[in-house]
Amino acid sequence: MSQPAFLATLLASLKSKVHVKDLPSDDPVRGKVIAAGDTVTSIVGFLATGFPDPVVNDLMLHTWHVIGSGKAQVAMYDVPTPHVVVVQDGGDILPTVLIPPDWITAVIRDPIMASGAMVFCGSQVVDSWNGRLKSKADSEAARMRALIYEAQYLLALRRIHPPWKPNSYQQEVLGSYPDGVTTPTATSLLYERRPHPLSPPPAALA
């Protein structure tokens, strides 16, 4: 499917989506969607408050509040891995974290990879809130920035758990940005964020 066709299909799906609260209590999809959403909430909350890296904490706290205040949304969609799309329908911007149907399985199989995916997506959610996902050029810069923050996350993992071994994808991320946010090629892509919108804080901060 071409990108415009994909975006049109996605937009139609999002506009006509059934909210999980509207599903019958005995609908098997309801439990699956709720569990997936709870897992996203738990991962983002931990990365915002419990992960031992202040750069990651700050990014994911912004992510928490942008999603929690309704400025971005999370949806289950037929995609292979989590990622963010920003669809414009008239004047409405819909930054959406797409979660694959097998998300719970993916988290159980490799929680480090899944948490890294949330950092990657969180960076782009925050970019959208800061008006930095409006063009193709923005999208490429946002992708590189997301990789920078994912590298920062992976570096923290390596620091706190030296036996951990990155997979081939993670090695590539670390190879591109070996010092995370302080990598010389990264600094020009970073910016001072505007204040995040307010929403109820993660439990650890309440």
* Digit-coded pLDDT (tens) for 114-148: 999 999 999 999 999 999 988 777 889 999 999 99
Nearest to 120 by CA among 96, 86, 144: 144
Q: Which residue has the higher pLDDT, 57 or 75?
A: 57
Q: How confident is the model at residue 30 (pLDDT cuts 50, 70, 90)?
A: low
Q: What is the pLDDT of residue 3?
A: 40
Q: Which residue has the higher pLDDT, 14 or 187?
A: 187
Say yes or no to pLDDT of 162 above 60.
Answer: yes
Q: What is the pLDDT of residue 80?
A: 92
Q: How confident is the model at residue 10 (pLDDT cuts 50, 70, 90)?
A: very low
For the chain, percent of residues with pLDDT exceeding 90: 53
Alpha carbon distance 65, 136 (integer Å) = 26
CA distances to 46, 49, 50, 53, 121 from 203, in Å: 9, 9, 11, 18, 21
Q: What is the pLDDT of residue 165?
A: 95
pTM equals 0.84
In this structure, of 12-16, 121-125, 199-203, the range with the lowest mean pLDDT score is 12-16
